[in-house]
Chains A and B, each alone.
Chain A
Amino acid sequence: MTVKDVVEALNLKVYSGTPGLNKEVTGGYTSDLLSDVMGNAPAGAIWITLQTHVNVMAVATLKDISAVILVKGLEPEANTVAQSNNEEIPILGTNLQAFEISGMLYNLIHSK
């Protein structure tokens, strides 16, 4: 499954990093502590968070995250968008909260 498949299935907004939409998605990780994500997120995961800071992209790059989903309608900061475009890691958005979107992503990944 690609990031693009997830965007279409879960009706996500695409903020940035569109060249990365063809990346393969192999799992998910939900956390708002970047120190935790640095230690524990698996490569290839879609990372679900409410953090919009530019450090999100540094951590996503470090951990080979396939895409970031911002919850609750939160929008990325300008420098976060710039970094997402540089690294070609898409930032996606939903109005749902983390519990709901995590459940939907889990079902999507495990139904295939």
Chain B
Amino acid sequence: MIVKADLHIHSVLSPCADLEMSPVNIVMRAAEMGLKLIALTDHNSTLHGPLMRTLAEQHGIYCLYGAEVNTREEIHCLCLVDTEEQRLALQEFIEHNITRIPNKPDVFGYQVVVNEHDEIVQEVDYLLHAALAKSIDEVAEFVHGIGGVFIPAHVDRPKYSVTSQLGFVPPSLEYDALEISKNSLVEQFRKSNPIKLNTQFIRNSDSHFIHQVGSTYTEYDLENLSFKCFKEALLGQGHSSVLPVV
């Protein structure tokens, strides 16, 4: 089955995301846009995952758990997992390693968890934008250790990317795919970055506003709609695959 996926979406929990980015609104928009696979990737938090998954299921959409983790080098990386156990492990890893800086909502924005009625049920008081005390290699190792997928985000961008912070993609870095933004071409990126030939590229919206959800996506040919098949598609295993990303 061909599946349209947007795996980089911020909810209202991310300080920089619009207040309209509640799980209810995101799922509605994802359904309108024909997405079948999504991932909620707030900055350094997975707390909206369970509600998103429940809501997504009602629309026949599969929602992966995840976070956009900020490494010690200030590189944003998508960390995607599937089970509640993995989500809790990822959440604990983040909470244990993040630099605790009190959030100033009037400067950085609100960091709230809401319920299915868009009522605030929790406010996170430390800044979710902060970096972890773990290097990109250590984060990758942890994510792989719990069976997750590790994807450096918007690798072509001039800030918070592996290329802006470390100059180029480290040859020793263990990643499952690289996320390239909509403004760049894979071929051009490859020209200036000597990366592994079998590197899989994907594109996502990095939505902070509701109209952006699904505006950029990647199509996958999955044997069935599951994390296992998604992972196999990225790694070129089994009968699942990623449709060409240029």
Contacts and interface: CB of A to CB of B under 8 A. Distances in A.
Contacts of A58: 167-168
Chain B contact residues (Cβ within 8 angstroms of A): what range? 10 to 19
A21 to B, nearest CB: 25
B145 interface: no
Contacts of B170: 53-55
Interface in B157-171: 158, 163-168, 170
Interface in B134-152: 135-137
A14 interface: no
A34 B167 CA distance: 5
Given A35-B158, A79-B172, A53 B136 contact: yes
Contacts of A33: 164-165
A77 interface: yes
Interface in A39-79: 51-55, 58-59, 77, 79
A53 B168 contact: no
A55 B168 contact: yes
Interface string A79-99: 100000000000000000000
Contacts of A25: none
B221 interface: no
A42 to B, nearest CB: 16
A34 B166 contact: yes
B73 interface: yes
A53 B158 CA distance: 19
Nearest to B138: A77
Contacts of B166: 34-35, 51, 53, 55
A38 B192 CA distance: 13
User: For the side of the interface on A, what is the size category?
Assistant: 10 to 19
Given A51-B73, A53-B73, A59 B167 contact: yes
A6 interface: no
A83 to B, nearest CB: 11
Interface in B72-114: 73
Contacts of A53: 73, 135-137, 166, 170
Contacts of B163: 35
Contacts of B172: 54, 79
Contacts of A51: 73, 165-166
A55 B164 CA distance: 12
A67 to B, nearest CB: 18
A55 B167 contact: yes
Contacts of A55: 166-168, 170
Interface of A: 32-35, 37-38, 51-55, 58-59, 77, 79
Interface of B: 73, 135-137, 158, 163-168, 170, 172
12 contacts: A34-B165, A34-B166, A35-B158, A35-B164, A35-B165, A35-B166, A35-B167, A38-B167, A51-B73, A55-B168, A58-B167, A59-B167
Query: Which 8 pairs show the lowest CB-CB distances between chains A and B?
Result: A34-B167, A55-B166, A35-B164, A38-B167, A34-B166, A59-B167, A35-B167, A55-B170
